[in-house]
Amino acid sequence: MNTKVIAIANEDSDKTRILGYGADLFSTKPMSPENVADKVLMLLSREAVIDIMLLSREAVIDNRHDF
């Protein structure tokens, strides 16, 4: 299971500390529900692209062994 963390804080000064704890995304308040939804969709699509790239790379490596 892959977990994503979006941290929303009051001040931008918290950014380094929060990202250092492992948050995937940081934003400051106030945030609209639409903005939160956009950020969630961005994280999910980024993860999907990474998965596709890894699968493509594995397929290329597997095809090289067939020769």
Domain extent listing, the chain? 6-64
Q: Which residue has the higher pLDDT, 16 or 66?
A: 16
Question: pTM of the prediction?
Answer: 0.53
For residue 61, CA distances in Å to 17, 64, 67 come to: 39, 5, 11
pLDDT tens per residue, range 7-64 = 778 777 778 888 888 887 778 788 788 888 888 888 888 888 877 888 777 766 666 6
Q: Enter the tokens of residue 29.
A: 């308040």
Q: 2, 47 in Cβ contact below 8 A? A: yes
Q: 5, 25 in Cβ contact below 8 A? A: yes
